[in-house]
Every structure is written in structure tokens, then in C-alpha cells.
Structure 1
Amino acid sequence: MNTKILVTGATGHFGKATIEFLINKGTDAKNIYALVRDATKADDLSAKGVNLKIGDYNDYESLVSAFQGIDKLVLVSGTDLANRSAQQLNAVKAAKEAGVKHIVYTSFERKNETETSPIAFLAQSHIDTDNAIKASGLTYTILRNNLYLDVLPMFLGEKVLENGIYFPAGEGKAAYVSRNDLAEAAANILISEGHENKEYATNNIENYSFQDVAETLSQITNKNISYFSPASEEYAEVLKNAEVPAEYIGMFVGFGAAIEQGEFNADKSDLENLLGRRPLSLNEFLEQVYL
């Protein structure tokens, strides 16, 4: 039987990478479906023979229609933080109604699931979606993805090599992981068996602090990169004076506090097993970006 796989958020980084890995690993493009809101932004996927399905997380009927005949659904978490819970619950309910057999969801690593979490604004939608998937009766695989290595340059700022690192994360560590590695792990799950009703710790195999980042950057660039962790209030004020939008300030401050509190410090990882190799390391990632 030809398993029909649908990937949501297919024009985004994660969705697109997952589709590319599926094709590279031998999945026939005619069995891959890409959920997009605007077909004109998915010409590259069409050119590869991937089927386009038009759908929107806000439009329940469009999701039910798009999910018809799909065996495995990759639900890539949305970017509309204010509405994400409702949108993703729509997608889970639609998957159930359409008869999807298996849902793979990109959730995230966390320890504190209460409102006291510095990133409760981000966490709640993931927790709601995880719970809805488990309650739906659908066969599922939940990926508890750690912070992307790919977001580090945003935290570090454009002038990190000149000015050093200024970020309010204290000595906290995180098992930062490459987005591409996570997408490849998702593709491997989709094309193999034994992942039914599993929750995977998709963390890197090492934890890194911002001091580690500074030292690694110093080594690979032959510059002296310092790290200073300001108080959250001071950091927020500096960003405000630099005219950074308020929602970004809140997000950066929240992530800094969560990292400092150890929210993303992981003591286990399933990623090496899912990939069949070691995940990309901090050192390798920083060399790709800064050399």
C-alpha cells in the first residue's frame, strides 16, 4: 500500500525540509501532500511532483477536506502564537473526522507546564495540542523538540563578533538542536514502523550554555568573544531603546529566563537513534554560520 503523507506548514522551513528528506529517502512525490494557504508560494514543491492541498488552520472545513485520504499527517506547529491553540485543535479534530491514521506533531521540550513558566505564552498551545492528540484516539508520535540551533544567531545579535554576547540567560544550558536534524528525524519516523503512540525527547546529546557559545565562537573565529548576562529588566530596556518591537522583547526575555531556569536542559535524547548518527553539534553549527 502506498502510504499517503501530508505535511502542514509546507512552505515553512521545517515543513519544506521534511518533504525534501522524504523525497531523498525514496518516498514517491505523488504520495506526498503539502498543505499550503497560497499555492503560488509552493511552485518549488509542485515542480518536484508534490501534491498541493489548500487549507488554513482557521478554516475547519478546509482542513477536513485537505486531510481526506491521508494516512500520516505531520502537524507542524503554527507561528500565530495568539491563535495557535485554537488553530491546532481545529487540525486535530479535522484529522479525526477525515480518518487520518497517524499524526506526528512538532511539540517542544519543557519542564514547567504551569502559568509560572517564563514562556507560558508559547508553551500553552503545545500542551493543549499534545493533550488533544492523546485524547483524540488517533495514533500519534509527539516530538518534544528542543530550541533550534538556528535561533541562536537571533539571540546573539548581528554584531556578536564585534560586541560579544549580551543575553539574559545566566548559566542556564539548553540542548539546542538543528532544525534540519529534527526534520530528518520526522521523515525517518514517517517511513518506518514502531513509532506508534510514542513521545520522543528530540534534544541534542549535549547541553550548552551561552558561555559555551562564547568560548566556541572565540575558538573558531580567533576573536575574544565575551558573554554578559544582564538582568531581564536591563536587557528589556536596552532592546526598547534600540526600538525592538515589544512582542520580540517579551519573547527574548521569556526565552532567556526559561533557559536560565533549565527548561531546555535535557538529560535524555532519542535523536541519535532516530537519525542513525550523531546530531549536528554546537561547534559544527557555529562553524557553518560564522566561518
Structure 2
Amino acid sequence: MILITGATGHIGSAVLEQLLRKLPASQLAALVRDEAKATHLKAQGVDIRGGDYRDPASLEQAMQGISKVLLVSGGGDEDGLQQHCNVVDAAKKAGVGCIGYTSRALREPATLVNQLMERHFQTEDYIRASGLPYLLFRNILYMDTLPQFVGPQVFEKGIQLPAGQGRVAFALRRDQGEAIANVLADDSCQNRILTFTGAATYSFADVAQALTELSGRPVEYTPVEEPEFMARLRTQGLPEVAVERITGFLTDIKNGQESTVTAELADWLGRPPTPLKEGVKEIFKL
């Protein structure tokens, strides 16, 4: 049986949706904190298991009878790494035969500005040290996050970010979730690292051009310096930790951290991943 954690979240849902196409629901389980949010999965025959990354006992109970588990990375909590370790520990105690993890495709982890991302590679190290057979899914930045970066007034004000001419091999979340599911359903779990990216890289100037062409409204990308951008975020009332993380994320893009391109996503999809313009049309409903 395959257990998906974070099963009602974005990537967890995408993985389960594809697994339900490939495997009987009786072979699938979902770890959720709030079982009321998983009624749609239960109705499809998925085994719903309550559990919390902070509660080792609940995790150990949820792992019973599981042969393979996908650990979907948590959020930005200060104890996020410990939460991940709790899941790995529970899987090992329960005798799970394979653990997958949704990590990140970043070019040089040692030089990251956004230090929150380091947690992914610390989790990878912990998984390796556990001795469990593993599948590490290094995912590129989800194209679906573009609205968060460009803001709700993108058609009025354009795009102003400290990302320079940095390029990103954006891929849709559902494409990456589908590929992860295909690996979980078919792979033998022999300590593999899979790097899932789009087939090409794009700058925010390319994003602006796609928005312009699709909407018929001119959208321009203007690179700005980090201090100006941080000051703008502060005037919006964001806490300093959020200001630093958002700016660090964009600085990493500027520095080429998100520019890796591989064919592995296409290979596991059996088709090319969704290109930028097609994805932007879908995301922005244009």
C-alpha cells in the first residue's frame, strides 16, 4: 500500500489523482490532519489515516501496513526539519520499504540565499542516513506560483521583481504530481534521485510577454534592486522573516538556482511538460 502525506494539499492531491488512475483505490492511503477535508478521497475508496508531522505516535500508527510512503515537504515552520525527521523515523519503525520525498531542483544548494530551502537537502541527508530505500523527487519551481510572484495587479502595474534576467525551468504542479505518481506506481525504489523540470527556461520577461500576448494588454517586466523590493514588502506589513525569504527566493532565481533543465519529467510523463504560454493561459484563465 502507498501512503501519501499532505494528501489534501496541492501536490499531494495531484499525486493521488494520478495514482487513482493507475492503481486500485484499495492500494492507496492518505495521511491528513483533518479527516473532514478528505471526504472526497474516502468516497473514492482511499484509506484515510489521521496524523500530524509533529505527533510521532500518530505517524507510527498511520504507517502500519504501508510498503511505500511519499513525504510531501511541509511549510516554513521553524521546526519543519524535525517534522520531516518524525515522518522518516515513523516509516523506519513501521518497516516501510520505500520513502519518497518532494525536494527541490536547485543548482547549487551550498550557495542559496533563501536558507529555508536548505531544509530540503537536510531532509535528503536524514533519509539517506536512515537506511531506508528512497526516491528523492527534486522538483523545479511550480509554474502555478506565478500569480504569487507577479501580484494581483500585474495587468495594471506590470512585474517588478529583484530577479534580474534569471531563468526558471517552470513546470506545472499537476505535471510534476503526475510524474511522481508514475514513479511511485512503477519504480522499484533503488535509491534514486529524479530531477523534474520543464523542457526550457524562462525569465520574468518571458512571463510578461506571455501575459501580454494572451491578454492583449501590455505587461512589462522591470528588474528592481533588492533594497527597493524589500522596502515595498515592509510597507505592505509583511514580517521581516517573510521579507527576507521572498527576497532570497527571487535572488536565488537571479543567480540561476532554478535554471536546471532535465528530460526526466518528460520521460516519466510520456510527453513534453506543459510549456510556459500554455500554462500561463490556464493559471491566469486567459
TM-score range, shorter chain: over 0.9
| In 2: Cα distance, 1:287 partner to 1:136 partner | 43
Distance 1:63 1:234 in 2: 44
* 1:46 alignment partner, SS class: helix
The one-character-per-residue Cα deviations of 1:102-130 (angstroms, maximum 9, x if unpaired) are: 1111000113333x52111x222111110
Q: Which residue of 2 aligns with 1:67?
A: 63
**Structure 2: how far apart are the matches of 1:220 and 1:245?**
35
Distance 1:194 1:39 in 2: 30
Partner of residue 108, structure 1: 104
Q: Distance in 2 between matches of 1:132 and 1:289?
A: 35
Q: Could you say which residue in structure 1 is the equivalent of 2:148?
A: 154
Give the structure 2 partner of residue 117 of structure 1.
Answer: 112
Q: Which residues of structure 2 form unaligned runs of 5+?
A: none
CA distance in 2 between counterparts of 1:193 and 1:160 reads: 42
Equivalent residue number for residue 20 of structure 1: 17
* 181 and 267 in structure 1: CA distance in 2 versus 1, 3 angstrom threshold: closer
What are the Cα deviations for residues 164-208 of structure 1, in whole angstroms up to 9, with x where unaligned? 101110000011111101110111011113552110111111011
Name the CA distance, whole Å, in 2 between partners of 1:176 and 1:81.
25
In 2, Cα distance between equivalents of 1:134 and 1:232? 36
Cα displacement (A) at 1:245? 4.1
Instruction: Quote the offset at 1:224 in angstroms.
Output: 1.6
Which residue of the partner structure matches residue 129 of structure 1?
A: 123
- Normalising by structure 1, we get a TM-score of 0.94
1:138-169 CA-to-partner distances (Å, cap 9, x unmatched) read 11110110111011110000010111101110
Q: For 2:263 and 2:238, locate their aligned partners in 1 and report how far apart those are by CA, in whole Å.
A: 35
Over 6 Å off, 4+ runs: none
Contact 1:169 1:260 in 2 (8 A): yes
Instruction: Indicate whether 1:249 and 2:243 are aligned.
Output: yes
Structure 2 match to 1:46: 42
* Aligned Cα root-mean-square deviation (Å): 1.4
Q: CA deviation at 1:279?
A: 0.6
Structure 1 letter corresponding to 2:141: L
Q: Within 5 Å, which residues of 2 pair with 1:269-280?
A: 269-280=263-274
* Counterpart AA for 2:25: A
In 2, the alpha carbon distance for the partners of 1:8 and 1:103 equals 11
Task: Give the Cα separation in 1 of the matches to 2:238 and 2:117.
Answer: 23
Letter in 1 for 2:20: I
Contact 1:102 1:139 in 2 (8 A): yes
Matched, 1:234 2:224: no
Partners of 2:24 and 2:241 lie apart in 1 by 41
